[in-house]
Structure 1
Amino acid sequence: MHTFIDTTLLALFIPTFLFVSITPGMCMTLALTLGMTIGVRRTLWMMLGELVGVGLVAVLSVLGVAALMLQYPQAFSLFKWVGGGYLFYIGVQLWMSRGKMAISHNNTEVNRSSAMQLITQGFVTAVANPKGWAFFVSLLPPFISQQHPMVPQISILVAMILLIELLCLLLYATGGLTLSRFLQKSGNVRLMNRFAGSLMMGVGVWLALG
């Protein structure tokens, strides 16, 4: 029976990427933070942008573009610093209990960030992370067999990557929402904003300097 992918390699790839994806990183920290401040449903917009970015990085890595990008890290610099600076600014706003993502004491304010702003946050965080490029360059080639057609293999691997990434993002966002509810019940809304702000500022610095 003809198959489009080596099932043995696929069986090894799934637990490998699951372990890597669930490890705390910039995107997972962002999902945790947004889960705290805007809820899981609104965070889905960020996840959409992040998944598009991850899929793009994965495909370009296989095609060899990433190798060229990694040789010229200055190509990332402006993109990284602008994206990191924006996330840091949001973190400062959260710390001060201001801005579109801060939660009010009466919890009546809703997040006013547009879907496109959230999508852009996720996309920039995924694409501007050079470690992500390096990871895919080193991880994906060993799981691609020369005995099978290239396009179906890439399609299946990317689909698995996106599914696993989505599940991990949902897990982190749900954890953030649970923590948010706990702090709200305790009356520590300001503490929650400061905690979320610190995480967001950390992601911004991580993105800019990573």
Structure 2
Amino acid sequence: MTEMTILAFALVAFIGIATPGPTVLLALTNGSRYGVKRATAGMVGAVLSDFVLIGAVALGLGALLAASEFWFTVVKWLGAAYLAFLGIMLLRSKGTIQVASDDSGMATPVSTLAIFLKSFLVAVTNPKGYLFFSAFLPQFIDATMPQVSQYATLALVFALVDFVVMLGYAQLGAQAATFLKHSGAVWLDRLCGGALLALAGSLALYRRATA
């Protein structure tokens, strides 16, 4: 695998990740509600999911979902239901920004583990991620060379790009929180909640490609 191949992969990955999806929307809302420091837990969860997805694809799970209508449907509806749940929770949110309570040392109702798990579960229950990596990664793999090290390299590059993009969204959310009044924070939550519901709907309607 050449440096140009890695650079091309990183560029394509950046374009794909920067397009608003569930994990970057969560990074945005986490940044606005909890600040960048606590939002990092969600970024770590999303990055861990990158390794899980790419490892699963390397082991053939992506091919299984592409071939099995049953397992594809199971994972799809789990992912759609979870996204819909998160979207509804944001729509019902009162726009509470918890950065101030962090600074005062008071306990906040959402734990770091919960923030981590939310982003992790959003990614690992999305079958489109497995199918995307199944179609995307082989284009950058040299079949004449050991594949384990190549998949590991691509996973590291993708995770790094993913973290940087999510950090940017979290920073954007945190900056927005400093300018938004309570009503503005409510509408930011509702906007992201509506986007997550739309993504849940698109996932529910998503169909496995057939030969």
In the superposition, the TM-score normalised over structure 2's length comes to: 0.83
State the Cα distance separating 1:157 from its structure 2 match.
Answer: 0.8
| CA pair 125-158 structure 1, distance change in 2 beyond 3 A | same
* Match runs of 1:11-160 below 5 Å: 11-70=7-66, 71-72=68-69, 73-94=72-93, 96-97=94-95, 102-103=96-97, 107-108=100-101, 111-160=108-157
Number of the residue aligned with 1:171: 168
Selected match of 1:191 from 180, 184, 190: 184
Cα distance between partner residues in 2 of 1:134 and 1:122: 19
| CA pair 28-22 structure 1, distance change in 2 beyond 3 A | same
| CA pair 110-182 structure 1, distance change in 2 beyond 3 A | farther
RMSD over aligned Cα atoms: 2.2
Cα distance between partner residues in 1 of 2:138 and 2:80: 30
Contact 2:48–2:120 under 8 Å retained in 1? yes
Cα distance between partner residues in 2 of 1:42 and 1:145: 39
Contact 2:32–2:97 under 8 Å retained in 1? no
Cα distance between partner residues in 2 of 1:88 and 1:23: 18
Identity of aligned residues (%): 23
Contact 1:40–1:170 under 8 Å retained in 2? yes
Unaligned ranges ≥5, structure 1: none
Contact 2:84–2:197 under 8 Å retained in 1? yes
**In the alignment, residue 202 of structure 1 is paired with which amino acid?**
A
Measured against aligned partners, the alpha-carbon deviations of 1:162-184 in whole angstroms (never above 9, x if no partner) come to 0000000000110111111111x
Paired residue secondary structure (1:112): coil
Contact 2:29–2:192 under 8 Å retained in 1? yes
| CA pair 54-34 structure 1, distance change in 2 beyond 3 A | same
Cα distance between partner residues in 2 of 1:110 and 1:198: 27
Number of the residue aligned with 2:206: none
**In the alignment, residue 112 of structure 2 is paired with which amino acid?**
A
| CA pair 120-145 structure 1, distance change in 2 beyond 3 A | same
Contact 2:65–2:131 under 8 Å retained in 1? no
Give the count of matched residue pairs.
196
| CA pair 159-29 structure 1, distance change in 2 beyond 3 A | same
Cα distance between partner residues in 2 of 1:181 and 1:45: 21
